[in-house]
Structure 1
């Protein structure tokens, strides 16, 4: 199985309204459910909060399966809505959900590895770190996280794909979010086998924070396109 780690906060977990197309199973796209079972990947893929909905993970998996008709894709959801990057460290704690995002992700990574090999890590996070402290610490924390997740997945060169935060005309970015975006771009540009995934033009679900269902699906396809570009570079 080609395993894909889905990590970050709410826009990776997905908050789009689940529609009929999001519930159609694909025989070669599976997800690791909250009980550690492989089941058909239908939205919501995540289970961090009761409001989990359509995110980018499933459309990424569908795109991989379409490109390689022999591939069985296994999505490993670990995102936690509202989580700061400070919670994505060993023993890190997210008080709102009373979870340990990083430790819980590691447990699921280790379980999934018995079924295949990790081929990609998708990261969408940063809305919770746009204050002065968060911005000051973010680059170092992100670089450390990339190294730790690559080590845990057993894929030291796994493509690490960093999604752009949503930006909507009705609610311009704060200086802090703009700073986080600059860090995302810098880390993607200076980390081997990493890429920045644009969210340009994507719409929100009405709250000027979370992507709509259509936008989340498109974001997943953009992640897949970035993954394909990295694969092409590696081959050449």
Structure 2
């Protein structure tokens, strides 16, 4: 009588168990492969029987993927943590982990779990202090009274870095190039698409044009600006574009001071400052929108007064009395020059530039943006005014340079004392 091998008996037992408890009989033709396919189910069943099942997932509504939180002078920020658990939570812990591909202490710094709250309820609101950098994966776990992990949740692509709102006319919006652009760096983010009705829930995405709530459907300068800043600063960058084509400084000021006017030029910027910025924080507002005032040709005094009042109103709407403004110089439009002649065009340009310079000299926390009028026809679209792809790349370099000069100047070399006793 032949003896049956021990291995054959084990395989038969495995097949019988699987047929009874997991898989349909018609899928049991190859037991060896089926056991491997069902190892996760076998493990889960064993852990459940032993009372060691995996922690239930936490439902996290904050942070969100591609969210960037403005870093402080201490080079860190508080990440808002909000969510709900299936049962009341005794203690809440969280940490950040630098995503694969990024360098520790260059692109950020991972942390260990720290306690952030003791909510004693299902819903929780808390803050996690995190160093500048990213992308991070944020891990939040809930503990019971005995210290056991009962629930856990993660959110990927969360950053601590730089946040900007862009405002102005079509140069600021999606009128550049022949097609939508996109950031080359993954760490350049923007908000979800919305144009007229603000979304009920905030959310973020990679900076692919068209950037909203700005209008039009081609390219904007801001993915290129973000690319340069990310490469220089090694932190994620969030830019929300609120530009509206065809608008002027005077029109923005009028709508800012009269919210019920029904004009849309400043409305999206106001909503961004009031709804999004309290959540993300902000470094500065970037203004790129002087050129259309060439049509009216205001005096230096009128232009600077409109600009000053617009800044005052925007700071009040943001609830930030010293909100920095970076002001770009643009007064180029050849179409206007054809209508009014080159001499009058130059007079109007000089008045607008002097008006912008007056604002920079008299309004605190305003900073020089780039001069762009020297970007001639080789940097312009076929319309002769808006920027082509080469122009967009130049805008990225120039705005990033001015932002770096304003907020991240290089250290000043120490003065050298005398070293010799005799000349």
User: What's the TM-score, normalizing by structure 2?
Assistant: 0.48
Shift of 1:135: 5.5
CA distance in 2, matches of 1:8, 1:226: 17
- Conserved in 1, the CA contact under 8 Å of 2:163 and 2:283? yes
User: 1:224 — aligned with what?
Assistant: 400
Q: Could you list the runs of 5+ residues in structure 1 that have no partner in the other structure?
A: none
Q: How does 1:99-110 map to 2 (within 5 A)?
A: 99-110=263-274
The unaligned stretches of length 5 or more in structure 2 are 1-68, 70-161, 413-423
Q: 1 or 2, which has the higher helix percentage?
A: 1
Q: Does 2:219 correspond to 1:59?
A: no
Are 2:148 and 1:148 aligned? Answer: no
- Partners of 2:389 and 2:358 in 1: CA distance: 28
For 2:410 and 2:264, how far apart are their aligned partners in 1? Answer: 34
Does residue 1:23 correspond to 2:182, yes or no?
yes
Asked whether 1:5 is paired with 2:171, we answer: no
Q: How far apart in 1 are the matches of 2:304 and 2:320?
A: 22
| Alignment length (residue pairs) | 230
- In the aligned structure 2, how far is the partner of 1:206 from the partner of 1:166? 18
Preserved CA contact (<8 Å) 1:45 1:53: no
1:192 Cα offset (Å): 3.1
Q: TM-score, normalised by structure 1?
A: 0.81
Contact 1:31/1:74 (<8 A) preserved: yes
Residues 166 and 179 from structure 1, CA distance in 2 versus in 1: closer, same or farther, beyond 3 angstroms? closer
Q: Does 2:366 match 1:199? A: no
Displacement of 1:31 in angstroms is 0.9
Q: Is the 8 A contact 2:299 2:351 kept in 1?
A: no
Q: Matched residues in 2 for 1:235 and 1:146: separation? A: 30
Q: Secondary structure at the match of 2:283?
A: strand
Q: 1:93 to 1:154 in 2, by over 3 A?
A: closer
Cα offset, 1:114, TM superposition: 4.0
Alignment of structure 1 residues 23-172 onto 2, 5 Å? 23-24=182-183, 26-32=185-191, 33-34=193-194, 35=199, 36-46=202-212, 48-50=214-216, 52-69=217-234, 71-88=235-252, 89-91=256-258, 99-130=263-294, 131-133=296-298, 137-167=302-332, 172=342
Q: 2-side partners of 1:232 and 1:123: how far apart? A: 19
Which stretch shifts more, 122-131 or 27-36?
27-36
Larger radius of gyration: 2
Alpha-carbon spacing, 1:74–1:84, altered in 2? closer, same or farther (3 Å):
same
Q: Distance in 2 between the 1:141 and 1:8 partners?
A: 14
- Identify the range of structure 1 (28-37 vs 151-160) with the bigger mean alpha-carbon deviation: 151-160
Q: Which has the higher contact order (CA 8 A, sep 6+)?
A: 1
Give distance in 1, aligned partners of 2:357 and 2:277: 29
Question: Whole-Å Cα distance in 1 between the matches of residues 260 and 330 of structure 2?
Answer: 23
How far apart are the structure 2 equivalents of 1:220 and 1:92?
Answer: 32
CA RMSD of aligned residues (A): 3.0
Report the CA distance between 1:153 and its aligned residue.
3.5
Find runs of 4+ consecutive structure 1 residues off by over 6 angstroms.
none
Q: Give the structure 2 partner of residue 210 of structure 1.
A: 386
- Corresponding residue SS for 1:10: coil
